[in-house]
């Protein structure tokens, strides 16, 4: 079905919708991963965005109910060069087309994704519209310009759970089970298990799987949970999750994190590092086109090693705004020298901008979960 994608700056691309009639809009970004498209689609950090895959052939291994990072597709649309409608994989239970259509998410292909990606790299990520009904480039571009800008948007509140829940054995359970699970775990295990409160700013399931794998009993709480409620739970550690949108409007979380500094060890990922940076007095800014893909080189300044990482973010902490007497920069991106990690010099607090749980082939960054365990073992906090 004929479709059109129009950017707010007037550039347009003819394409085809392989999911039927529809119309949608959002910020257009690109991801350089060669696989993992179902994880990408369901990552809450993509809320409000239309994802362009730079790898040319997508859909060849289908979809399944296991390779998801949240309860639904989060991206506004999926933009491909060539869609493969005949998947070949023993784990596949549905085609990508059926998966997208089942949740009313548009999928388009036969679009020059190389040209679109090069344009975004030059002009920056920008708003766009896709339509099968409005095929006038000028009209569609004008409508794209009326969409909300990503700057100033608190999208974490739109993807966060509205209630607390326990995570056990890879599944969601009632919050009341947390104390029971922790009690049973403590009796059953010879080693210590750690009670962790995880803030849900758009948390990915695989983060929870990784934390559980290193002996954490997890209670996931809404983004708006106040510090007093967290302290009353008496956790061993606090985790700050990834999430979408601009970190600066998420003032309620920044205030909460600031109150929790020094209470217990804190570990943050992606949006978590940005909110932590703001809580420590730093500033954030929007990258031109962001980091999205499974091949981002990051240098660990503490060890000198280079880690190949998976990333998905459009904002970053400005290292020049952090107090060097309090905060030590631990990781940098080797492509553009932006900040990828820091730790507090005296408090058990650290965070990274990338996704150690995504493991894009290498497991270079999985040590961070062990570092969190080490901090909790030391009994950091007041």
* Block mean pLDDT (10 aa), the chain, length 382: 97 98 97 95 97 98 95 97 97 98 98 98 97 98 97 97 93 83 58 89 96 95 98 97 98 98 98 98 97 94 95 97 98 97 98 88 86 89 42
The residue out of 86, 117, 144 marking a domain boundary is 144
What is this structure's pTM? 0.95
Query: Do residues 267 and 242 touch, judged by C-beta distance below 8 A?
Result: no
In this structure, are 272 and 327 located in the same domain? Answer: yes
Q: Are 311 and 353 in contact (CB under 8 A)?
A: yes
Q: What pLDDT, on the 0 to 100 scale, is given for residue 183?
A: 62
**What are the DSSP calls for 92-151, one per residue?**
--B-HHHHHHHTT-EEEESS-HHHHHHHHHHH-SEEEEEESS---HHHHHHHHTTSPPST
- Residue at 233 is within a domain: yes
SS (H, E, C) 185-207: HHHHCCCCCEEEEEEECCCCHHH
Residue 300 to residues 92, 270, 285, 307: CA-CA distances in angstroms? 37, 16, 22, 7
Predicted pLDDT at 218 = 96
For residues 79 and 115, membership in a common domain is answered with yes
3-state helix, strand, coil in the chain (%, to 5): 25, 30, 40
> Are residues 194 and 66 part of one domain?
no
**Do 258 and 113 share a structural domain?**
no
Claim to verify: residue 134 and residue 239 sit in the same structural domain = no
pLDDT at 150: 96
**Tally of structural domains, the chain:** 2
The residue from 144, 174, 200 where one domain ends is 144
CB of 24 within 8 A of CB of 130? yes
- 151 found inside a domain: no
User: Same domain for 217 and 274?
Assistant: yes
Q: Are residues 33 and 84 in the same domain?
A: yes
Flag whether 56 is in a domain: yes
Residues 84, 217 within the same domain: no
Residue 149 lies inside a defined structural domain of this protein: no
Tell me: do 107 and 225 sit in the same domain.
Answer: no
Kindly report the CATH number assigned to the domain that includes residue 54: 3.50.30.20
Would 9 be classed as within a structural domain? yes
- The phi, psi pair for 143, rounded to 5°, reads -70, -35
Range of the domain at 315: 156-377
Q: What CATH number should be reported for the domain holding residue 258?
A: 3.40.50.880
Q: Which residues are catalytic?
A: 270, 355, 357
């Amino acid at each position: 079905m004929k479709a059109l994608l129009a950017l707010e700056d007037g550039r347009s691309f003819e394409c085809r919708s392989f999911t039927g009639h529809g119309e949608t809009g959002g910020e257009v970004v690109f991801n350089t991963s060669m696989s993992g498209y179902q994880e990408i689609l369901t990552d809450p950090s993509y809320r409000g965005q239309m994802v362009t895959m730079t790898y040319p052939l997508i859909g060849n291994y289908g979809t399944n109910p296991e390779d998801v990072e949240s309860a639904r597709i989060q991206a506004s649309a999926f933009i491909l060069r060539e869609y493969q409608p005949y998947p070949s994989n023993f784990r596949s239970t549905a085609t990508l087309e059926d998966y997208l259509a089942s949740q009313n998410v548009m999928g388009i292909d036969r679009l020059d994704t190389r040209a679109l990606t090069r344009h975004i790299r030059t002009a920056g990520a920008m708003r766009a519209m896709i339509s099968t009904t409005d095929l006038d480039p000028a009209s569609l571009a004008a409508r794209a310009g009326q969409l909300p800008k990503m700057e100033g948007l608190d999208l974490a509140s739109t993807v966060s759970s509205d209630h607390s829940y326990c995570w056990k054995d890879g599944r969601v359970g009632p919050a009341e089970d947390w104390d029971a699970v922790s009690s049973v775990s403590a009796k059953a295990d010879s080693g210590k298990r750690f009670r962790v409160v995880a803030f849900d700013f758009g948390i990915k399931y695989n983060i929870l799987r990784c934390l559980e794998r290193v002996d954490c009993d997890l209670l996931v709480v809404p983004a708006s949970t106040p510090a007093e409620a967290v302290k009353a739970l008496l956790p061993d550690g606090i985790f700050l999750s990834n999430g979408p949108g601009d970190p600066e409007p998420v003032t309620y979380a920044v205030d909460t994190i600031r109150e929790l500094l020094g209470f217990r060890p804190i570990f943050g990922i992606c949006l978590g590092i940005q909110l932590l940076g703001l809580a420590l007095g730093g500033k954030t800014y929007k990258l031109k086109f962001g980091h999205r893909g499974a091949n981002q080189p990051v240098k660990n300044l503490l060890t000198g090693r280079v880690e190949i990482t998976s990333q998905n973010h459009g904002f970053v902490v400005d290292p020049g705004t952090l107090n060097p007497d309090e905060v030590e920069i631990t990781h940098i991106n080797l492509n553009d020298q932006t900040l990828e990690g820091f730790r507090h010099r005296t408090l058990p607090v650290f965070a990274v901008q990338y996704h150690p749980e995504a493991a894009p082939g290498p497991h270079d960054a999985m040590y961070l979960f062990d570092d969190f365990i080490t901090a909790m073992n030391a009994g950091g906090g007041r």
